[in-house]
Amino acid sequence: MLELSEKVERGLRTAVVYLAILALGMCTAIPGPTLLDLEKIVQVEASSLSQIYLGRSIGYLVGSFVGGVFLDYCKATQMLLVSYTFVMAVTTTLIPWCRTLWLLIGVMSVSGFAMGSLDTGLNVWCLYFWNDESSPFFQALHFFFGIGASLAPLIAGPFLTLENANVTTNLTANVTQFVIDNSTTTIPPITYAYAIIGICSLVVAALFAFLFLIKVTESEHKEPVVYQNPSVCHSFIIILTSFLLLSVYAGIEIGYGQMIAVYAVKSIHKFSQFYASLIASVYWGTFTLSRGLSIFLAMKFSPMTIVMSDFSVMLLAAVVLTTIGNIYSNFLWIGTALLGLGLASFYASTITWVERHVNVTNKIGSSFVVAASFGEMIAPLAISQYVKEMPQVLMYIVSGCVVMCGFLIFVLWIVTSRIGAKKPVEEMERKELELETKETSKFTVNRYNEKLEDGTSVTEIETKLD
């Protein structure tokens, strides 16, 4: 058993959590750039292959909810995180080995379950480690997820099938080109990309297992602080409002990110597909950059201040995109960059804001992940129905969602301001004792002697209210 100081032990656990969320980001993003190769592997049209995302989303939803319940009722939290990471690694590695659509959907569903459960566990674990100091560390957690999602296309790039290769490049193209049919056993090149990400995830699972060997030095061991929850009514309002807020936020984030390229091509701007992909890159680039900057902002400002600032930027972006951004291409770029900046730190800041007023258990944390998953599923589906015929509907839906966010933030601010920050149980008990003492001290007792007619002395007690 390796004995470490509490500070070193907590830092080591946080580093492993960051590596786990990085692996989660890679596993989440890898199907996107490899979709055309997966289409060839399972021999179906791209429209049918989109069912794998539905399967993974359902698995993610179920995993977020069920995983949160398991983590709350099971004492072996770390063992569960090891298991979820291991399942995620194995299923990610198996994806390019699936030769039928239904097998691929099944593997993606199991992978989604493991990822949803892991996502919930990592979020709550990070909050548990740092308590009142969690804001910058929680921002960093989501920054590493973005880094992982950005690394996935870079890992997949060298292994993707080359299309439309000309005669001069046929020799190099043949190195990575492959033909898949029922009679061949050729290994698709993207198998190696998935294997690299799978191995990285297995290493993270091994690091989680390594944490079992660490023991905190007895002299520095501290009991975790237990906080008093607000009333059931206030807790319910805060959690419900946060659930709706995060659903709407996730709808904006994913809906705009997936549909801005289609809008740029189909709208009056008439972008080429190349420039449409560039504007999508600007959105995700500013999104990732802002998440990195928010780590340092969280050290200086409260989560509520960051949420209010994010909303101000989001509102400005919505106004630009809905008005002049619909007419002038330059303002479309500016509005897109502003929206990426405003959205980046919103999710993490909202959860840390809530955590300062309510104890975020695994079940509550899972509800937040479920909320985001709902928004990620519903918003792109709603926008995609109309964006080709009425491209401006993207901007109208985004603006409507931003206004809805503003209303929900206002409700959350009213409730949290009313109840104040949560306090440790010991402090609550001390204040209750002081209150009882104060109430008792309002009464004064006066004693005086009075002589009766027979000369006997009687002590009288008079109680007066101050």
Alpha helices in 30-160 (DSSP H): 35-42, 46-49, 51-73, 77-94, 101-130, 134-156
Please, which pLDDT band fits residue 104 given cuts at 50, 70 and 90? very high
In a domain, 430, yes or no: yes
Mean pLDDT, range 215-221, rounded to an integer: 52
For residue 180, the model assigns a pLDDT of 40
User: Is residue 397 located within the same domain as residue 257?
Assistant: yes
Q: What is the CATH classification number for the domain harbouring 333? A: 1.20.1250.20
Residues 378 and 436 in one domain: no
The DSSP letter of residue 447 is E
What SS3 class is residue 421? coil
- Whether the Cβ atoms of residue 343 and residue 288 lie closer than 8 Å to each other: no
The answer to whether residues 50 and 90 belong to one domain is yes
One-letter identity of residue 105: I
Same domain, 413 and 442: no
**How many angstroms separate the CA atoms of 226 and 424, rounded?**
6
Instruction: Select the more confidently predicted residue: 168 or 193.
Output: 193
pLDDT band at 432 (very low <50, low <70, confident <90, very high): low
Q: What is the pLDDT of residue 239?
A: 92
User: For residue 373, what pLDDT is reported?
Assistant: 82
Distance between CA atoms of 34 and 56, rounded to whole angstroms?
Answer: 16
pLDDT at 324 exceeding the cut of 80: yes
410, 319 Cβ separation under 8 angstroms: no
Is the per-residue pLDDT at 217 higher than 80?
no
Does residue 367 sit in the same domain as residue 450? no
Top mean pLDDT of 6-20, 26-40, 302-316 is at 302-316
Question: Mean pLDDT, to the nearest integer, of 393-406?
Answer: 93
Residue 387 confidence class, pLDDT cut points 50, 70, 90: confident
Mark whether 254 and 273 lie in a shared domain.
yes
145 and 32 assigned to the same domain: yes
Per the structure, the count of domains in the chain is 3
Contact 408, 241 (CB under 8 A): yes
Q: Helix or strand or coil: residue 215? A: strand
pLDDT confidence of residue 263: 86
pLDDT band at residue 428 under the 50/70/90 scheme = low
207 and 84 both lie in a single domain: yes
Angle at 134 between CA 292 and CA 148, to 5 degrees: 40
Dist CA 361 CA 222 (whole Å): 20
Q: Among 313, 298, 297, 312, which residue's Cα sits nearest to residue 356?
A: 298
* pLDDT at position 132: 67
The pLDDT, as a whole number, for residue 75 is 67
Asked if residue 406 has pLDDT above 90, the reply is: yes
Q: Give the residue, 283 or 411, on which the prediction is more confident.
A: 411
pLDDT in tens, 279-290: 877 888 888 888
Burial class (CB in 10 A: 0-12, 13-18, 19+), 452: exposed
Res 57: pLDDT: 82
In the predicted model, is pLDDT for residue 49 greater than 90? no
Query: Is-contact 98 312, C-beta < 8 A?
Result: no
Query: pLDDT band at 316, cuts 50/70/90?
Result: very high
Say what the pLDDT of residue 318 is. 94
| Residue 400 predicted with pLDDT over 90 | yes
Q: Point out the least confidently predicted range of 170-174, 197-201, 305-309, 341-345.
A: 170-174
pLDDT band at 234, cuts 50/70/90?
Answer: confident
Q: Is residue 408 part of a domain?
A: yes
Tell me the three state secondary structure of residue 449.
Answer: strand
Residue 247: its pLDDT value, please?
92
Asked if residue 176 belongs to a domain, the reply is no
> What is the rounded average pLDDT of the residues 305-333?
92
The length of the chain is 466
Which residues, in sequence order, are bridge partners of residue 216?
4
d(CA 321, CA 343): 15
Higher per-residue pLDDT: 249 or 436:
249
Give the residue-averaged pLDDT of 90-112.
Answer: 93
Are 459 and 388 in a shared domain? no
**C-alpha to C-alpha distance for 111 and 198, rounded to whole angstroms:** 11
Q: Tell me whether residue 333 is exposed, middle or buried, using C-beta atoms within 10 angstroms of its C-beta: 0 to 12, 13 to 18, 19 or more.
A: middle
Whether the Cβ atoms of residue 228 and residue 197 lie closer than 8 Å to each other? no
Distance CA(222)–CA(45), nearest Å, equals 58
> Given this model, what pLDDT does residue 438 score?
53
**The pLDDT of residue 223:** 54
pLDDT at 227 over 80: no
Terminal Cα-to-Cα distance of the chain (whole angstroms): 62
One-letter amino acid for residue 36 of the chain: L
Same domain membership, residue 295 and residue 437: no
Helices 393-419, 362-384: inter-axial angle, 10-degree rounding? 160
| Containing structural domain, residue 452 | 425-463
Res 460: pLDDT: 47
Note the pLDDT of residue 238.
92
In a domain, 305, yes or no: yes
Name the token pair of 322.
């809905």
In a domain? residue 168:
no
Nearest by Cα to 253 from 452, 92, 32, 405: 405
CB atoms < 10 A from the CB of 242, how many?
Answer: 23
281 belongs to a structural domain: yes
At 453, phi and psi to the nearest 5? -65, -30
User: Is 325 inside any structural domain?
Assistant: yes
Pairwise CA distance, residues 397 & 307, whole Å: 21
Q: How far apart are CA 384 and CA 263, in angstroms?
A: 10
pLDDT of residue 258: 72
Give me the mean pLDDT over the 329-340 stretch: 92
Instruction: Indicate whether 212 and 337 sit together in one domain.
Output: no
Distance CA 339, CA 310 (A): 9
Q: Per mean pLDDT, which of 41-50, 306-315, 391-400 is the most reliable?
A: 306-315
Unique residue bearing structure tokens 């792109």: 380
- What amino acid occupies position 291? R
The CA radius of gyration of the chain, in Å to the nearest whole number, is 28
pTM higher than 0.85, yes or no?
no
Q: Say whether both 458 and 348 belong to one domain.
A: no
The pLDDT-based confidence of 172 (bands split at 50, 70, 90) is very low
Q: Which amino acid is at 283?
A: Y
Assigned domain for 155 exists: yes
